Structure 1
Amino acid sequence: MTLRGSRVPRSTTDQRLLEGREPAGWVHSDPWRVMRIQAEFVEGFGGLAELGPAISVFGSARTRPGHPTYALAEEVGAALVGAGFAVITGGGPGAMEGANKGATEAGGTSVGLGIELPMESGLNAYANLGINFRYFFVRKTMFVKYAEGFVVLPGGVGTLDELFEALTLIQTGKITNFPIILMGATFWGPLLDWLRHTLMAEGMLSPGDLDLLRVTDDVAEAVAWIVAAQEERRGSGFSATS
């Protein structure tokens, strides 16, 4: 399931599953799909079971080397390794590549969890442990199950998807002692203002919901928050792979 430099598919497995435009023969093909999904879970669990403490890092695939956010991603990756964590990313280009690069060059475990997409192909060169998935929901499980927190760099729709999904899991008690760090006060400030002055003002958020997010421009501060949460988590008897 590990792919590097593979061809870009014209359609993806997820697309074919979700569009649902198949003839009545679906009753024969869907059981095989279930087995493929099961196989992806088994592959992911097997590949990451001995990973140890890790943090998932998200950010835009469109961030180019030389951009300040790419440099920030490298710094985050290296700092997490220095604090004893592996780094997990989506394995793509941009900020993901930066975080993988920082982790690898710091001598740490640098994980890339790729996804079959029509616009991307293979994993970046800095992921020294790579698994490629066909199904988004299987991959998303790995980001949470094998991480002790998220660091979220500036990004687009995919980054927001991971951010709000994790926030929902924390809000509903599905995961606990799980820090979410937003890197970049200027970038994330308008979103937090909207959450506070629109959603919270309308009663659509509880008063403490925004306290689940921490914002900083300081990598050392972000890592210190993560380490503190890790200690609290271990003190309460939970582990990332429970």
Structure 2
Amino acid sequence: MAKHHISAADFDSVPDPARRKGSVVLRRARAETRQSDQMLFQTPRDTTFVHSDPWRVLRIQSEFVEGFGTLAELGPTICVFGSARTHRDSAEYRTAEQIGRLLVEHGFAVMTGGGPGAMEAANRGAMESGGTSVGLGIELPFETGLNEYVDIGINFRYFFARKTMFLKYSQGFIVMPGGFGTLDELFEALTLVQTEKVTNFPIVLFGSAFWSPLLDWLKGTLLEQGTISEEDLDLFHLTDDPDDAVEWATAFLRAAAQGEEDAQQQRGSEEARRLGPQ
């Protein structure tokens, strides 16, 4: 058997080492590149990227993913808003606590901003009644953390991500007396209902002594100057009765559930008649 003689030309024909970078093949000078893992684990010299808008977009996305994933299977839920400054020994605290209990008795989870005051009271009423108590917190300079009565809690960096969760995963708002944050949630909901971005979304204002001056301004200034219409004043319900607040906030969803139950029974009866005696 003849031996094959290897010439210099044969060495010239051997391809340069190849390098894979993910699904990409790199050869010759292009192969002289660092591995992706090498670059990942190398201590970065420039850390300003964590303060850039592209990085913030990823953080915002993570808040939506976390919120959607945690709350998607929550079930019927009503948000209770109110001041973080409501004292535990006040009548407003006891009323918010009672509203939390009543919502659970009607088969609803209770969602709040997760803070102290009226929010804590509503969470407490829900938790102590054996219901689902949810708190969506927000990063603030005076943040105290989620109150101890929250069973499912998420902390947010961004107000708009948090507000999306309130509106997406609840079926109505009960708004206790509160400050700028409470007003922000109230007018966000009113705007979305007015513009039909959300439909069949009850909004209850609790405490006529607190809310009446605002309603007088809405009627005497906004309505009078034509910046809102008469129908816009029907987008909310004012009450001083916890039972009425809960009944009004949950009526639509309970009616819808009853209608679905009646429809299922009707379909069952029609199927039984169609099959006849067995």
* TM-score, L = length of structure 2: 0.74
Q: Secondary structure at the match of 2:174?
A: strand
CA 1:81 to 1:118, structure 2 compared with 1: closer, same or farther past 3 Å? Answer: same
CA distance in 1, matches of 2:107, 2:239: 21
Could you give the per-residue CA deviations for residues 56-95 of structure 1, whole angstroms, max 9, x where no partner exists?
A: 1100000110111111110110000110000000000100
Corresponding letter in the other structure for 2:201: F
Structure 2 CA distance, aligned partners of 1:236 and 1:46?
A: 29
Whether the 8 Å CA contact 2:172–2:250 is kept in 1: the answer is: no
Change (3 A) 1:236 1:144: farther
Against the structure 1 CA distance between its residues 95 and 141, is the aligned structure 2 distance closer, same or farther, given a 3 Å change threshold? same
* Count of aligned pairs between the two proteins: 213
Match of 2:66 in 1: 43
1:146: which partner in 2?
169
**Structure-2 residue corresponding to 1:19:** none
Q: Map residues 170-181 of structure 1 onto 2, 5 A cutoff.
A: 170-181=193-204
Q: Does residue 122 in structure 1 map to residue 139 in structure 2?
A: no
Q: Does the CA-based 8 Å contact 2:174-2:249 persist in structure 1?
A: no
Deviations 1:186-234 (A, max 9, x none): 1111110110111100001111001001000111111111232214566
Identity score, percent:
65
Residue 94 of structure 2 is matched in structure 1 by 71
SS in 2 for 1:208: helix
Change (3 A) 1:235 1:141: farther
Aligned pair 1:165/2:199, yes or no?
no
Give unmatched runs, 5+ long, in structure 2.
1-47, 261-278
- Name the larger-Rg structure: 2
CA distance in 2, matches of 1:91, 1:173: 28
Indicate how the Cα distance of structure 1 residues 206 and 221 shifts in structure 2: closer, same or farther if over 3 A, else same. same
* Structure 2 CA distance for partners of 1:183 and 1:173, relative to 1, 3 Å: same
Unaligned runs of 5+ in 1: 1-24, 238-242
* Structure 2 CA distance for partners of 1:114 and 1:28, relative to 1, 3 Å: closer
Paired with 1:168 and 1:186, the residues of 2 have a C-alpha distance of 23
Residue 169 of structure 1: how far off its partner (Å):
0.3
Normalised by the length of structure 1, the TM-score is 0.84
Matching of residues 67-106 of structure 1 within 5 Å: 67-106=90-129
In the TM superposition, what are the counterparts of 1:1-242 in structure 2 within 5 Å?
29-231=52-254
Q: Look up the equivalent residue of 1:69 and give its one-letter code.
A: E
RMSD in angstroms over aligned alpha carbons? 1.8
Tell me, yes or no, if the aligned pair for 2:134 and 2:151 is still in contact at 8 Å. yes
Q: Is the 8 A contact 1:177 1:233 kept in 2?
A: no
Is the 2:96–2:121 contact (alpha carbons within 8 Å) kept by the matching residues of 1? Answer: yes
Structure 1 pair 27–99 and aligned structure 2 pair: CA distance change class (3 A): closer
Moved over 6 A (4+): 25-28
For residues 13-44 of structure 1, give each alpha carbon's deviation from its aligned partner in whole angstroms, at most 9, with x where no partner exists: xxxxxxxxxxxx77982111101100000000
* SS of equivalent to 2:121: helix
Q: CA separation in 1, counterparts of 2:211 and 2:62?
A: 37
